Amino acid sequence: MTSVSSNQANDNLVLLKTLLVRIVTPTMDKVLRVLFDDGIQKTYIVSKIVQAAGCISIGSHLERNSLFGGVLTDVEKRITYHVPISTLQYKKKQVLQLHDKPKIAGNIPRTSKRPWMSELKKHKIWINDHDSASEEIDVLIGADLMPHLITDRCIHLNCGLVAQETIFGWSIMGPVNARASSDSAFAMTVTSLHVADMGENSI
């Protein structure tokens, strides 16, 4: 599993770069929650989602992850898929090469509707993650794809948060002064180590 270090934030909530997108295939039109994290080398999608969507597999490999603290996971098989992802309004669509994982991460705080939303509105920035029904992450965008998905538009807000534009919409990140007894702040660092690149028939 991806390395997720959870620190209870009783006085401060730290927002991470999340947003909502769609996976659109002949068998599925589903809203997914995405986390952008350049501390991860690769990009992943939850296995049961990509399988139910009937996405095309293009290969597989074995890998193990170096977690925060230097712990190595067991060797696990990853299947790579071509996955069509679009904005919520279907205006922008991109086929991404994603690796499957049974579970990515949970309890990643959603963006809440707070007074600084008016500042975002002044900049014509619209955040959609406050509409998500779950705090689970369905897609984790790592350093392999982030340079191709993030634009050069980045705005520092007066409240201390930073808004970052992606081709799928805007996300915000940074500390929020708030009581958050049930929320968690997360730091994620994963190094994926290729054990072998293998074709589908060799594993």
Domains of the chain, by residue range, sit at 5-194
Dump pLDDT digits (tens) for 90-103: 999 999 999 999 99
pLDDT of res. 196? 46
Better-scored residue on pLDDT, 97 or 116: 97
Residue ranges with strand state E in the chain: 5-8, 12-15, 18-25, 28-36, 44-46, 56-66, 76-86, 93-101, 139-141, 150-156, 162-166, 169-177, 184-187, 191-198
What average pLDDT is seen over the chain? Answer: 81
Better-scored residue on pLDDT, 73 or 21: 21
Give the residue-averaged pLDDT of 160-166.
93
Residue found under tokens 């999608």: 45
SS3 category, 78: strand
Helices (H), the chain: 47-52, 117-122, 146-149
The answer to whether the beta carbons of residues 82 and 56 sit under 8 Å apart is yes
Query: The whole model's pTM is what?
Result: 0.81
Residues 6 or more apart in contact with residue 202 via CB below 8 angstroms: none
Residues 6 or more apart in contact with residue 198 via CB below 8 angstroms: 59, 60, 61, 62
How far is C-alpha 24 from the geometric centre of its chain's CA atoms?
Answer: 17
Please report which confidence band the pLDDT of residue 1 belongs to, taking 50, 70 and 90 as the band edges: very low
